[in-house]
A and B are shown apart, each in its own frame.
Chain A
């Protein structure tokens, strides 16, 4: 379970998170929506301990993340897979080495046969051929980089998966592929996930619960249906704008075909 209790964070004079509460139950997928620059990624980084809150508590697996010692934090991070917005793949390593680095269990990471099999399995899970393992990140397309990023995040068989804008910068078709992948991983691996996005359509497809981060606060939380039915003007404004874009996109796709 992931729980944020009254988490506040400010950078110099800019308040990014103000008394934010969020609960993600085991096995659940929560989509965190909000406009660009609102602090969604900052919130996600609090969960994995890359950023510490000024006030409030972040609990993962019942552990107070900010209070953990170095070794305890490393152990906890071994249970969390983090998919970065631009993949954050290591340029100097090929795809195989990148994914292998995601195998966080020390005994497993020392076993070459296990690592080779696991890398192949992770590539299969994200619909990539084993040959991609020999390529370097610079040789991959944006969509492939995202998928390799996901493969690296799941290589250590995490209990939690955090996705930071998994579909941003992708064309609608590739975005659909990634959304389908998130759904499939959720079904096959049964992990607890938080998906940060500003893509309403994709988030509603993958999420059990949706939260809207608006002006440093969680403005609304609920099932996709509850969020769609919300009368809150901020929620409606955000949803309308994004869904309009989706309609325009689907119309242009239809026109093009």
Chain B
């Protein structure tokens, strides 16, 4: 009996501790967001650094994003060919590839790749700056770490990630088209007809909206985690891993929520 009561108490304590921790993170994240909004007025500080960051993450990520999108488009096409051969008209392949790449694969895979590439980099950079007191040094000089470090990174991501997603969409579509031509012998006319038949201009907007939300997750979460890093090199390692995991999970959650909100209303 006593053991049962103790176990219940332990679970309550655990839940209480986790709730407090979650509330503390939510509070600090909200304050960081508020600081970012306030920092928007200091454009002279963050704008030049934003372009530097945008160039760096844009060029640096382009190859891997296009590589993954290219293979994904081709594989989607080959698998669709394997599943549907003979059962549906050929033009449907154009529909399947265009819609799956634009609505889902382009934005989600780009988001996940960048969560690993950009998110890890942001968390590690800011985490290292925190544990080596560089962020404290910036504050001690009366300068805002948000305007100098966080805003440029977030804004660069918000600019570059939707653009990379569009490049990924185009690449996935083209490789899917080429793979369909070579595997099931679909004509260009049939493929384009299928791609246009079910296409709605909103699909591209939907892809862009998703990419923008994912950009927020890929930049803000790692920046927040890196900015609040503690306990030396081990802390930086932990922050980097946590940033990638948290950004990836948030992307998947946002993917579901946005599909429900934007496609089923």
Taking a contact as CB atoms under 8 Å apart, the answer to whether B137 and A88 are in contact is: yes
In residues 118-160 of chain B, which contact A (Cβ within 8 Å)? 128-129, 132-134, 136-144
Taking a contact as CB atoms under 8 Å apart, the answer to whether B134 and A74 are in contact is: no
Taking a contact as CB atoms under 8 Å apart, the answer to whether B137 and A85 are in contact is: no
B residues near A152, Cβ cutoff 8 Å: 137, 141
Partner of A88, one of B134, B142, B143, B144: B134
Nearest Cβ distance between residue B189 and chain A, in whole angstroms? 53
> How far, in angstroms, from A86 to B132 measured CA to CA in the complex?
8
The interface on chain B, measured as residues whose beta carbon lies within 8 A of the other chain's beta carbons, has a size of: 14
Taking a contact as CB atoms under 8 Å apart, the answer to whether B143 and A48 are in contact is: no
Q: What DSSP secondary structure best describes chain B's contact surface?
A: helix
Q: What DSSP secondary structure best describes chain A's contact surface?
A: loop
Taking a contact as CB atoms under 8 Å apart, the answer to whether B137 and A90 are in contact is: yes
- Identify the closest chain A residue to B128 (Cβ): A91
> How far, in angstroms, from A77 to B144 measured CA to CA in the complex?
11
Taking a contact as CB atoms under 8 Å apart, the answer to whether A77 and B140 are in contact is: yes
In residues 137-162 of chain A, which contact B (Cβ within 8 Å)? 152, 156
Partner of B133, one of A86, A104, A156: A86
A residues near B136, Cβ cutoff 8 Å: 45, 50, 84, 88
Partner of B137, one of A74, A76, A78, A84: A84
**Candidate in B128, B132, B137 with the most chain A CB atoms within 10 angstroms:** B137
Which residues of B come within 8 Å of A, CB atoms? 128-129, 132-134, 136-144
A residues near B138, Cβ cutoff 8 Å: 90, 101
> How far, in angstroms, from A55 to B242 measured CA to CA in the complex?
34
Taking a contact as CB atoms under 8 Å apart, the answer to whether A156 and B132 are in contact is: no
**1/0 per position for A37-49, CB-CB distance to B under 8 A?**
0000000010010
Which residues of A come within 8 Å of B, CB atoms? 45, 48, 50, 73-78, 80, 82, 84-86, 88-91, 101-102, 104, 152, 156
Nearest Cβ distance between residue A142 and chain B, in whole angstroms? 14
Taking a contact as CB atoms under 8 Å apart, the answer to whether A77 and B134 are in contact is: no
B residues near A90, Cβ cutoff 8 Å: 129, 134, 137-138
B residues near A50, Cβ cutoff 8 Å: 136, 139-140
> How far, in angstroms, from A102 to B138 measured CA to CA in the complex?
9
> How far, in angstroms, from A91 to B149 measured CA to CA in the complex?
13
- Identify the closest chain A residue to B139 (Cβ): A50
> How far, in angstroms, from A75 to B129 measured CA to CA in the complex?
23
Nearest Cβ distance between residue A73 and chain B, in whole angstroms? 8
Taking a contact as CB atoms under 8 Å apart, the answer to whether A91 and B134 are in contact is: yes
Taking a contact as CB atoms under 8 Å apart, the answer to whether B132 and A101 are in contact is: no
Nearest Cβ distance between residue B149 and chain A, in whole angstroms? 10
Taking a contact as CB atoms under 8 Å apart, the answer to whether B132 and A77 are in contact is: no
Taking a contact as CB atoms under 8 Å apart, the answer to whether A77 and B133 are in contact is: no
Partner of B142, one of A74, A84, A85, A89: A74
> How far, in angstroms, from A89 to B144 measured CA to CA in the complex?
16
B residues near A88, Cβ cutoff 8 Å: 132-134, 136-137
Taking a contact as CB atoms under 8 Å apart, the answer to whether B142 and A75 are in contact is: yes
- Identify the closest chain A residue to B135 (Cβ): A88
14 new A-B pairs (CB below 8 Å) besides A77-B141, A89-B137?
A50-B136, A73-B142, A75-B142, A84-B133, A86-B133, A88-B132, A88-B133, A88-B137, A90-B129, A101-B143, A104-B141, A104-B142, A152-B137, A156-B141
Nearest Cβ distance between residue A169 and chain B, in whole angstroms? 14
> How far, in angstroms, from A201 to B143 measured CA to CA in the complex?
35
